[in-house]
Amino acid sequence: MSNFEGVTVVKKANVYFEGKVTSRAVLFADGTKKTLGIMLPGEYEFGTDSKEIMEILAGDLSVLLPGESDWTDIQGEGEFTVPANAKFKLKVRTVTDYCCSYIAE
Amino acid sequence: MSNFEGVTVVKKANVYFEGKVTSRAVLFADGTKKTLGIMLPGEYEFGTDSKEIMEILAGDLSVLLPGESDWTDIQGEGEFTVPANAKFKLKVRTVTDYCCSYIAE
């Protein structure tokens, strides 16, 4: 799916890490939310509130998921899931375009 | 207006200047288009195809509009208009959140 149709977009951006990570929220008619974001090269740690499915649309990065000791590499497109109330780390090597889905449980 | 409702969002980002300028397209039911974007600190030159209204949602920057010899400063919120088929320059000092409207003439 290359477009999201019939959605609400929050105009103002979310800005993290001095702008090296930014996103905008997309709200769906069914009450769910996604963010579309960009990460510039760097190392980041994020925390989740809800479960998150991170779809990488383009990029070159490694992710350390909670409870894991090995990093997983993603080049180009990819996806990973992070449980609720968890932390995960990213090493981003090139400009990375992502779509994050927030999953209520 | 803090949200755009009933719109289509193009999932994939537009990436310029090695990711220092990124945006996503928002398509409206009336056929018009806006982009919501982020500019990191730097100096940029852009060219327009159509007339553009650039609304600065947050930031600290200066703009040199076509035909002008003086830079205009914008701190916080602001707006400027660029004619079609023109070039303009920006000096961006802090992470800048913008909404660009493309105006058919």
Tell me the pLDDT tens digit for each residue of B26-78.
999 999 999 999 999 999 999 999 999 999 999 999 999 999 999 999 999 99
B72-75 and B21-27 strand pairing? unpaired
For chain A, what's the residue count? 105
Interface-testing mutation among A33, A36, A101, with chain B (most B C-beta atoms within 10 A) = A36
**pLDDT at site B71:** 98
Residue B1 falls within a domain, yes or no? no
Q: What is the CA radius of gyration of chain A?
A: 13
Q: Which residues contact B10 (CB under 8 A, 6 or more apart)?
A: A2, A3, B24, B25, B26, B27
Does the residue A1 lie in any domain?
Answer: no
Q: Is A80 part of any domain?
A: yes
Contact B8 A6 (CB under 8 A): yes
- Domain housing B73: 8-103
For residue A78, give both structure tokens.
Answer: 């990819």
Strand B33-39 vs strand B87-103: parallel, antiparallel, or unpaired? Answer: antiparallel
Q: Give me the mean pLDDT over the A61-81 stretch.
A: 98
The CATH number assigned to the domain holding A14 equals 2.60.120.10
H/E element, A4: strand A3-10
Q: What is the pLDDT of residues A45-55, one digit of tens each?
A: 999 999 999 99
Rounded to two decimals, the ipTM of the complex is: 0.94
Q: Is residue A3 part of a domain?
A: no
Q: Is a pLDDT exceeding 90 seen at residue A1? A: no
pLDDT at B105: 87
> Residue B62 is inside which H or E element, if any?
strand B51-64
B94: its two tokens: 């802090």
Q: What is the number of structural domains in chain B? A: 1
State the Cα–Cα distance between residues A63 and A75, nearest whole angstrom: 11
Q: Provide φ and ψ at A83, rounded to 5°.
A: -65, 170
Q: Distance (Å, rounded) from C-alpha B105 to C-alpha B96? A: 27
Does A13 contact chain B (CB < 8 Å)?
A: yes
Give A105's pLDDT tier (boundaries 50, 70, 90).
Answer: confident
Picking from A7, A18, A20, the nearest residue to B7 by CB comes out as A7
Q: Examine residue B33 and state whether it is found in any structural domain, yes or no.
A: yes
Chain B residue numbers touching A16 (CB-CB < 8 A): none
Within-domain flag for A2: no
| Angstrom distance (rounded) from CA A54 to CA A35 | 10
**Is B3 a member of any domain?**
no
Query: HSE on the CB side for B44, CA within 13 Å?
Result: 21
